Amino acid sequence: MSHYTPTSPVVSALMVTHDAEKTVRRAVESLQNQTLGNFELVVVDAGSRDATPRLLESVAERDMRIRLVQADDCDRQTALNLALDRARGTYVAVTDADGWSDPTMLADLVGAAEKGGLELVIGGFVLSVALPGGRSARAEVSSEGVAYPTQHDFRAAAWKLLSSGQLLPAGGKLFSRELVERRGVRFQPSGGSDHSFVTSFLADVERVAVRPGTCCHMTRAALPSGAGGAVEAHRRVEREHGALLELYRHWGLEGDAASMAALQDRYIEQLMDCIERVCGRGSRVPSADQRRIVSQMIDTDRAQLAASVAHPRGNAARAMLAPIRSHNASLVCVQTRLMSLLRPGIADVAPDFFV
């Protein structure tokens, strides 16, 4: 606390809460216990109906680093924009109300940024996903430490971070607020994820480094299955794939083999996950509707291109490529159902599909 500067904190940590009374105390305390004390936490409560606002008000009264903003019921991205508009730090970090940060997270990220004069520092994270039936899955997403000497070096190597799921999540990263403001980077309301913010920031970032290991923990629930959940997930996949293609065109890497392979692999894996939500194990979607929805997903030029060139990680996912290429929705449904009975998940999607 002795190092806290109210008018010029080093970091603005952004957080959104909504009915988070069971988890928010741990999330906030993990920031209060950071070894770097000169930060502010801007919390936007998006219309909580439980005790979350009272908990936050009580904590804010005792810790001037915490600023609470009360908002109407709104989506996460709208709330993050409200927090971003109030940020005063040199750097911005996005934190979760249902996760927690390692004690040295801010110090490590800021130390790397200040040492290298960086605009972006990428850290790793641990993700826990709550699955149906009381099951859970855990993934550690991290890399070896590396500082990219030039903008081109970062762009040429970004496909590795994209493939592992470390490139797009906003959590575990430190962003230059000056670049955010100069480029007008914002979260996309109703976008379904924070990835659009990161994609926009990446467009012209120059000085980047990756910190080794993990620095924070995130928890998520599995995306909903059924026709509605699958169709919405598919829309999100299409939007994001289009944005990534545009990013790589902007970078001048649309002809780079490694980058394009990573994009197509990612797309086909996520497409298969959407298909499994329609006709996988336990699906209650009528067979005729399954075939109709799957046909709409696989009959596009984008899906056919990906099925022709992609090399997904799992054997089961690779076995689905031929029926997709043949536009055989019935066979895709049957094979997906069989695969999902043998093992949970036919596609090994990157963890960032959930964050």
pTM as predicted:
0.94
Q: Based on the domain organization, do 237 and 272 belong to the same domain? A: yes
Instruction: Report residue 40's pLDDT band, with 50, 70 and 90 as the boundaries.
Output: very high
What's the domain count of the chain?
Answer: 2
- pLDDT of 347 reads 58
Q: Helices 24-32 and 52-62 meet at what angle, rounded to 10?
A: 20
* Residue 295: inside a domain: yes
pLDDT digits (tens, 9 = 90+) for 51-60: 999 999 999 9
Q: Based on the domain organization, do 175 and 33 belong to the same domain? A: yes
**Six-digit token string for 216:** 């924070």
* Residue 83: inside a domain: yes
Q: Based on the domain organization, do 180 and 240 belong to the same domain? A: no
pLDDT at 345 over 70: no
- pLDDT of 3 reads 64
Q: Based on the domain organization, do 198 and 77 belong to the same domain? A: yes
Q: Based on the domain organization, do 326 and 272 belong to the same domain? A: yes
β-pairing verdict for 173-176 and 146-147 = unpaired
- pLDDT of 346 reads 54
* Residue 302: inside a domain: yes
Quote the CA–CA distance of 143 and 132 in Å, as a whole number.
Answer: 29
**Six-digit token string for 261:** 């392979």
When mean pLDDT is compared across 134-148, 217-231, 258-272, the lowest value belongs to 217-231
> Three-state DSSP class for 224?
coil
Q: Which of 98, 94, 68 is nearest to 80 (CA)?
A: 94
Q: Based on the domain organization, do 203 and 240 belong to the same domain? A: no
Q: Which domain holds residue 96?
A: 11-120+165-208
* Residue 248: inside a domain: yes
| Percent of all residues in the chain with a pLDDT value above 90, rounded to a whole number | 80
Interval 303-323 mean pLDDT? 90
Q: Based on the domain organization, do 264 and 339 belong to the same domain? A: yes
* Residue 220: inside a domain: no
Interval 246-260 mean pLDDT? 97
When mean pLDDT is compared across 56-60, 181-185, 309-313, the lowest value belongs to 309-313
pLDDT digits (tens, 9 = 90+) for 10-33: 999 999 999 999 999 999 999 999
Burial of 304 (0-12, 13-18, 19+ CB in 10 A): middle
**Six-digit token string for 140:** 């550690």
* Residue 306: inside a domain: yes
Interval 289-309 mean pLDDT? 96
Task: Please indicate whether residue 204 or residue 222 has the higher confidence score (pLDDT).
Answer: 204
Domain CATH for 69:
3.90.550.10
Of 145, 179, 208, the position where a domain reaches its end is 208
Interval 290-318 mean pLDDT? 93
Quote the CA–CA distance of 200 and 223 in Å, as a whole number.
Answer: 24
pLDDT at 311 over 70: yes
* Residue 138: inside a domain: no
Q: Based on the domain organization, do 96 and 195 belong to the same domain? A: yes
Instruction: Report residue 344's pLDDT band, with 50, 70 and 90 as the boundaries.
Output: low
Q: Based on the domain organization, do 204 and 56 belong to the same domain? A: yes
Interval 100-111 mean pLDDT? 98
Quote the CA–CA distance of 149 and 231 in Å, as a whole number.
Answer: 41
Q: Which of 85, 61, 108, 115 is nearest to 12 (CA)?
A: 85
Other Cβ atoms within 10 Å of 352 Cβ, number: 26
pLDDT at 133 over 80: no
* Residue 182: inside a domain: yes
pLDDT at 280 over 90: no
Q: Based on the domain organization, do 203 and 230 belong to the same domain? A: no
Q: Based on the domain organization, do 194 and 61 belong to the same domain? A: yes
- pLDDT of 2 reads 45
Interval 268-289 mean pLDDT? 91
Q: Based on the domain organization, do 199 and 238 belong to the same domain? A: no
Backbone angles phi, psi at 107, to 5 degrees: -65, -40
Burial of 324 (0-12, 13-18, 19+ CB in 10 A): buried
| Percent of all residues in the chain with a pLDDT value above 70, rounded to a whole number | 96
pLDDT at 237 over 80: yes
